[in-house]
């Protein structure tokens, strides 16, 4: 393995995707790791841009062939993972790889990369604010919303295992803090 990685993790709806997209738009040295998933496309998502959408059968085959650096069954029958080929592709372009990844996947990557990883937990200002954000997306039915909220409550307990925690109450302030952390890490 080579190169540095940057992880933005947190519960669904915390703002990690918004932060990651902002950083990518302002820094050409970063390259986004497109995760693979078995879940269905949502809204305006694009295959190969937001995620690599693959079948459960293909995902399980890639697990068997050891093609993932990390993977997880995040929800029952819904898998997410990082393909080794995705990292190799970005490093070949001399990019620092940035991830928008779930909490357990982020911790697995942090453990593997050690000092070559910057791991940032994006925290919602409150559990109520998180639920409002997820509801406002209009992508969840009541059962899936409850499933995401239950998972979020567990994930919040892992924040202390990350290098930094950003409470995403004011988006501008959150983006500025993220920029500062990333700039310092890239210079180290």
| Domains defined along the chain, listed by start | 5-187 (3.40.50.300)
Assess whether pLDDT exceeds 60 at residue 160: yes
Contact predicate 86/3, CB 8 Å: no
Assess whether pLDDT exceeds 70 at residue 1: no
Q: Kindly indicate the confidence band of residue 82, based on its pLDDT and cuts at 50, 70 and 90.
A: very high
Residue with tokens 């994930």: 155
Cα–Cα distance between 74 and 98 in angstroms, integer?
20
Q: Kindly indicate the confidence band of residue 179, based on its pLDDT and cuts at 50, 70 and 90.
A: very high
* Category of 43 on φ-ψ map: left (φ > 0), alpha (ψ -120 to 50) or beta: left
**Continuous segment of H or E residues that includes residue 123:** strand 117-123
The pLDDT value given to residue 174? 96
The pLDDT value given to residue 187? 92
Share of the chain above pLDDT 70, in %: 98
Q: State the average pLDDT for the chain.
A: 90
SS3 15: coil
For the sheet with 5-9, list strands across it.
30-32, 96-101, 5-9, 117-123, 164-167
Residue of 159, 163, 79, 162 lying closest to 127 (CA atoms): 159
Cα–Cα distance between 73 and 86 in angstroms, integer?
19
The pLDDT value given to residue 188? 87
Which tokens belong to 83? 């393909």
Over residues 71-84, mean pLDDT: 90
Over residues 80-104, mean pLDDT: 93
Over residues 34-58, mean pLDDT: 92
């Amino acid at each position: 393995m080579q190169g540095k990685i940057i992880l933005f993790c947190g519960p669904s709806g915390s703002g990690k995707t918004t932060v990651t997209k902002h950083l990518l738009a302002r820094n050409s040295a970063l390259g986004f790791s497109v995760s693979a998933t078995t879940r269905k496309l949502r809204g305006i998502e694009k295959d190969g841009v937001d995620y690599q959408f693959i079948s459960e059968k293909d995902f399980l085959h890639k697990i068997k062939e050891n093609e993932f650096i990390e993977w997880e069954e995040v929800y029952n029958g819904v898998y997410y993972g990082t393909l080794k080929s995705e990292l190799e592709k970005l490093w070949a372009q001399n990019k620092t790889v940035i991830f928008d990844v779930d909490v357990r996947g982020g911790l697995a990557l942090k453990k593997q990369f050690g000092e070559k990883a910057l791991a940032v937990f994006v925290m919602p200002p409150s559990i109520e604010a998180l639920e409002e954000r997820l509801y406002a997306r209009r992508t969840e039915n009541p059962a899936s919303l409850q499933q995401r909220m239950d998972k979020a409550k567990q994930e919040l307990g892992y924040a202390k295992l990350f290098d930094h925690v950003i409470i995403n109450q004011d988006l501008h302030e959150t983006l500025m803090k993220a920029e500062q952390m990333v700039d310092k890490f890239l210079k180290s």
